[in-house]
Chains A and B, each alone.
Chain A
Amino acid sequence: MSILLNKDSRIIVQGFTGSAGSFHAQKCMEYGSQIVGGVTPGRGGTTHLDRPVFNTVEEAVKKTGANVSLIFVPAPAAADSVMEAGKAGISLIICITEGIPVLDMAKAKQFLKIYAPQARLIGPNCPGVITPGESKAGIMPGYIHKQGPIGIISRSGTLTYEAVHQLTQKGLGQSTVVGIGGDPIPGSNFVDILDLFERDPKTEAIVMIGEIGGSAEEDAAAFYKAHMKKPLFIFIAGKSAPPGRRMGHAGAIVEGSSGTHASKIEALKNAGAVVIENLSEIGSTVARNFKSVVV
């Protein structure tokens, strides 16, 4: 077990023949992921990277039995691709694309709720999902990961790699690593994924990496306190960021008194999470505390 993604996941890539789609599809295959085909409208019937290309997701699902879609479609058309994947019956939609208009995402979420209740959306503006040793659907460097008991959820890409790397170096592998993305309206939030990790027998502790902006961390704190028993380690980026300025990610901004670093830390600390203040100490903190928890 793991969450969301495993060795049996059958993945198609939307935006398959584009440069990002091609490059990362190749890397996912090298990692061992089952990339069963791709979609590029107008290129249906051809093959790319030894895999069939389809004009529509619907056709791709029919012919390949895909249940996961990995989206690299450029921002102006990405929300449309998300909706197409949902309507075609895909159950896990992972959207890597950055820069999608917020209202497009609001509409796509609404669409999925009505027309594709089976679909779970991860992202956009995220590195994707990896279950080490089984399958990788995303742009993360596969080799830094290691199979193991730690689940990771994060709003940031490279910060996730940093955390994974530190854990792996301490000999702590990961069950599944989920990048939920840095946009104001993510497909899935911390609470959704925390819930999955809590119920996953393979996950024994969770590392959550948040950042300033919004209230997803505060919501996670309330959920953790009410519904979870597994140890939770958290790092929140953006303590030194000035209010009112957007820090790269569309969602990373302190607006008025909302979304501050202090409020997130306080909520999570009160909920019983282990707060990590120094980014360099994620690996060592988890190693120190986690051993005492399991042994």
Chain B
Amino acid sequence: MKLLEYEGKEILREVGVPLPEFGGVIDKPAQINSILKRLKKGPWVLKAQVLAGGRGKAGGVKLAKTPLEARAFAKAMVGMKMATHQTHGQTLKVEQVLVEQGVKIEKEFYFSVAIDRKIGSPVLIASSQGGMEIETLAAEHPEAIIKKPVDPVFGLLPFAARALAFELGIPAEHISSFTKVATTLVKLFISKDMSLLEVNPLVLTPKGFVALDAKIVIDDNALFRHEDFASRDDIESSPAEKEAKKHDISYVGLDGNIGCMVNGAGLAMGTMDTIALAGGSPANFLDVGGAANQERVERAFKIILKDPKVKTILVNIFGGIVRCDMIAEGILAVLKKMKLKVPLVVRLEGTNSDKGRETLDRSGTRLMTASSLWDAAQKSVQAAGGKI
């Protein structure tokens, strides 16, 4: 689960990480007035609260030197449609804007903690060249990036934080400020089950270090022990995706027109790829789970059909422990209950697959059975109106 910047900063504030003076979070431009009354001294920074990096270049971060400017920016930013290089061609509507007091920046640093899959533990990434995106930095100045594995039990010990501070060239009088912030951030990463905690930039001000930004991702698998996060609205997921999640069905909406229902995540991806290879375009990723019983098949169909782009449905089930003839019966029972208006292609493989296909073929129901995944993909592409 990704958190918005202001949500992330709330968590940082709780543990005492220094932040810019908080003005407020507004969802109507006029709300800026009360903030300006309270936070009299400018400049003010307005930041669009969307879950994507690259906001600055897309006009989502503005520095207002006068109240007049602040009001103008608030008006322009609330409700603005934004596309950054991280939104992959989509636009995001800015619902909320964070207003803070500007800080005096002496130097910008980069600081993050993430999961390093290769070493199997958290890793700390820091640089004395903060402000730009880490991927750009990695491409342009790889030598300026310091990476340190973090012990998942001990966290970042003060001596290691001090060593890092010296390596980053932090002036002696600010070493203790950095050490405190760095160890606190790592502790927070571990205690809140984060998979990413990025502060970019972490800035040095005359008074010490201040976290100017906060990008936080919480590990979905750990939400069961963090009720405060679990109860939040997952703003990244579509209504169909949320509905699927409620029923333990893994679903991701895509751009194409062939709805997919598959058991197993890998096979679901493989099915999408096969459709694409056959010249079609999948409408979704859907893993119905191990037990593809009648109830789950029905749920999955309903979720797939919420997407009006779907012109055909491909069911691809590998029956292992669950027998294909049982799955076929389940599919037929669902079809009796709900009238499908789109063509259906079914590929059953594994235990009793012949019997399963026979059951479907004999039922007189209008569906196409397929002899292989490739056959199924080709039939679905044709049923959906041909190659794209």
Interface residue ranges, A against B (CB under 8 Å): 27, 75-76, 99-107, 109-110, 139-141, 143-144, 154-162, 165, 182, 184-185, 209, 211-212, 214-216, 219, 235, 237-252, 256-257, 277-281
**Is the CB–CB distance between B268 and A240 below 8 Å?**
no
How close is B359's CB to chain A, nearest CB, in angstroms? 19
| B325 interface contact, C-beta 8 A | no
The CA-CA distance from A143 to B221 in the complex, in Å, is 33
The CA-CA distance from A235 to B373 in the complex, in Å, is 15
The CA-CA distance from A245 to B318 in the complex, in Å, is 24
| B239 interface contact, C-beta 8 A | no
Number of A-B contacts (CB under 8 A): 174
Q: Which residues of B contact A182 (CB under 8 A)?
A: 265-266
The CA-CA distance from A243 to B208 in the complex, in Å, is 37
How close is A119's CB to chain B, nearest CB, in angstroms? 14
User: B117, B222, B224, B282: which contacts A240 (Cβ < 8 A)?
Assistant: B282
| B176 interface contact, C-beta 8 A | no
**Is the CB–CB distance between B269 and A241 below 8 Å?**
yes
Residue of B nearest to A75 (CB): B221
11 A-B residue pairs with Cβ-Cβ distance under 8 Å, sorted by A, are: A106-B152, A107-B152, A110-B153, A139-B290, A154-B266, A182-B266, A237-B269, A248-B266, A248-B285, A250-B221, A251-B117
How close is A26's CB to chain B, nearest CB, in angstroms? 11
**Is the CB–CB distance between A157 and B266 below 8 Å?**
yes
| B272 interface contact, C-beta 8 A | yes
**Is the CB–CB distance between A156 and B264 below 8 Å?**
yes
Known contacts A106-B122, A106-B152, A280-B374; is A249 also within 8 Å of B266 by CB? yes
Q: Which residues of A contact B349 (CB under 8 A)?
A: 162, 165
**Is the CB–CB distance between B269 and A278 below 8 Å?**
no
The CA-CA distance from A102 to B123 in the complex, in Å, is 13
Q: Which residues of B contact A106 (CB under 8 A)?
A: 115, 120-122, 152
How close is B263's CB to chain A, nearest CB, in angstroms? 6
Q: Which residues of A contact B117 (CB under 8 A)?
A: 184-185, 214-216, 251
The CA-CA distance from A212 to B268 in the complex, in Å, is 13
Known contacts A144-B320, A165-B349; is A244 also within 8 Å of B120 by CB? no
The CA-CA distance from A257 to B88 in the complex, in Å, is 13
| B96 interface contact, C-beta 8 A | no
**Is the CB–CB distance between B88 and A243 below 8 Å?**
yes
Nearest 7 A-B pairs (CB), nearest first?
A156-B266, A158-B264, A248-B265, A159-B266, A141-B320, A101-B222, A280-B374
| B276 interface contact, C-beta 8 A | yes
**Is the CB–CB distance between B120 and A185 below 8 Å?**
yes
**Is the CB–CB distance between B250 and A248 below 8 Å?**
yes
Give B284-299 as 1s and 0s: 1 = Cβ < 8 Å from A's Cβ atoms: 0101001000000000
What is the interface of chain B mostly: helix, strand, loop, or mixed?
mixed
The CA-CA distance from A165 to B353 in the complex, in Å, is 12
The CA-CA distance from A141 to B318 in the complex, in Å, is 10
How close is B146's CB to chain A, nearest CB, in angstroms? 19
- Contacts A76-B225, A139-B321 known; 9 new A-B pairs at CB < 8 A: A106-B121, A110-B151, A156-B266, A161-B320, A165-B350, A209-B266, A237-B269, A240-B282, A281-B374
Residue of B nearest to A281 (CB): B374
Q: Which residues of B contact A109 (CB under 8 A)?
A: 120-121
How close is A132's CB to chain B, nearest CB, in angstroms? 15
Residue of B nearest to A185 (CB): B120
| B277 interface contact, C-beta 8 A | yes
Give B178-193 as 1s and 0s: 1 = Cβ < 8 Å from A's Cβ atoms: 0000000000001001
Q: Which residues of B contact A215 (CB under 8 A)?
A: 117-118
Q: Which residues of B contact A27 (CB under 8 A)?
A: 321
Q: Which residues of B contact A249 (CB under 8 A)?
A: 265-266
Q: Which residues of A contact B271 (CB under 8 A)?
A: 279
**Is the CB–CB distance between B120 and A161 below 8 Å?**
no
| B275 interface contact, C-beta 8 A | yes
- CB-CB contacts below 8 Å: B185-232 with A: 190, 193, 195, 219-222, 224-225
The CA-CA distance from A278 to B219 in the complex, in Å, is 33
Known contacts A106-B122, A244-B88; is A279 also within 8 Å of B274 by CB? yes
User: B219, B320, B374: which contacts A102 (Cβ < 8 A)?
Assistant: B219
**Is the CB–CB distance between A102 and B373 below 8 Å?**
no
| B135 interface contact, C-beta 8 A | yes
How close is A259's CB to chain B, nearest CB, in angstroms? 9
**Is the CB–CB distance between B221 and A102 below 8 Å?**
yes
User: B86, B265, B319, B374: which contacts A252 (Cβ < 8 A)?
Assistant: B265
Residue of A nearest to B52 (CB): A244
| B267 interface contact, C-beta 8 A | yes
**Is the CB–CB distance between B321 and A101 below 8 Å?**
no
**Is the CB–CB distance between B264 and A159 below 8 Å?**
yes
**Is the CB–CB distance between A245 and B252 below 8 Å?**
yes
| B254 interface contact, C-beta 8 A | yes
The CA-CA distance from A110 to B97 in the complex, in Å, is 42
User: B221, B273, B351: which contacts A99 (Cβ < 8 A)?
Assistant: B221
**Is the CB–CB distance between A159 and B270 below 8 Å?**
yes
| B34 interface contact, C-beta 8 A | no
Residue of A nearest to B254 (CB): A242
Known contacts A102-B115, A103-B222; is A277 also within 8 Å of B277 by CB? yes
Residue of B nearest to A213 (CB): B117
How close is B349's CB to chain A, nearest CB, in angstroms? 6
Q: Which residues of B contact A246 (CB under 8 A)?
A: 220, 252
Q: Which residues of A contact B382 (CB under 8 A)?
A: none
Q: Which residues of A contact B220 (CB under 8 A)?
A: 246, 250
Residue of A nearest to B89 (CB): A242
Give B276-320 as 1s and 0s: 1 = Cβ < 8 Å from A's Cβ atoms: 110000100101001000000000000000000000000000111
Q: Which residues of B contact A162 (CB under 8 A)?
A: 267, 270, 318, 349, 373
| B66 interface contact, C-beta 8 A | no
The CA-CA distance from A240 to B319 in the complex, in Å, is 24
The CA-CA distance from A215 to B117 in the complex, in Å, is 8
How close is B287's CB to chain A, nearest CB, in angstroms? 4
